[in-house]
A and B are shown apart, each in its own frame.
Chain A
Amino acid sequence: DTAVSQTPKYLVTQMGNDKSIKCEQNLGHDTMYWYKQDSKKFLKIMFSYNNKELIINETVPNRFSPKSPDKAHLNLHINSLELGDSAVYFCASSRSGTSGNNEQFFGPGTRLTVL
């Protein structure tokens, strides 16, 4: 059983398009995250959601918008794609809470290429 799944695995699109990446977790976790990993492999937090509320919104462009229909899903919508958006996007989930070992479980990643 896949704990954290993402679709699609690969996404190739033109500049200016709008695209979505879906994420689902079956671990019963309350908190979900989106990360961007650039070509230099630097993993950077973009958003986190706890019980359908955005709790951290890092300084990402407002072209990126997370949407959570329920606590098992956190989708990422990207408008007006730019070349610099090309990266691998990882979804992750964890138990809620800000203490203890609430390790994060990562999805397989979505490799986005903007042409």
Chain B
Amino acid sequence: GQNIDQPTEMTATEGAIVQINCTYQTSGFNGLFWYQQHAGEAPTFLSYNVLDGLEEKGRFSSFLSRSKGYSYLLLKELQMKDSASYLCAVRKSGYSTLTFGKGTMLLVSP
């Protein structure tokens, strides 16, 4: 099976930087995805990592270390609209489906 762990909640201040960690255990890793989900809305894709290293996309970056089973999502210059749940998801080799973590609720305050 797969085990994915993320912190349940985090708080940060507008304009700051926050790092949301995700650790996973899986056999046959084949990609890690981050999604954002605002309350009452659908998840939307943020980033994808399959090789070790950092992927940068505007204010958001995602890092992966396959040997450590570890990823983080880095959000810079936080805005109030970044208050949402952030979901880490892992894909296994040979499958297109994703297994999601329980999500990290981020609250950005003024």
Contacts and interface: CB of A to CB of B under 8 A. Distances in A.
A94 B43 CA distance: 14
A98 B30 contact: yes
A109 B42 contact: yes
Interface stretch (A38-46, A60-68, A71-79): A38-46
Interface residues of B, number: 25
A108 B30 CA distance: 27
Interface string A84-115: 00000010001011110111111111000000
Given A40-B102, A42-B102, A45-B99, A106 B42 contact: yes
Contacts of A97: 96
Contacts of A56: 95, 97
Given A41-B85, A98-B91, A90 B96 contact: no
Q: Nearest 4 CB-CB pairs, A to B?
A: A106-B42, A103-B45, A101-B48, A43-B100
Given A90-B42, A106-B44, 17 more contacts: A33-B97, A41-B105, A42-B100, A43-B87, A43-B100, A45-B98, A50-B96, A55-B96, A90-B43, A94-B96, A98-B91, A98-B94, A98-B95, A99-B30, A99-B50, A103-B33, A108-B41
Interface of A: 31, 33, 40-45, 48, 50, 55-56, 90, 94, 96-99, 101-109
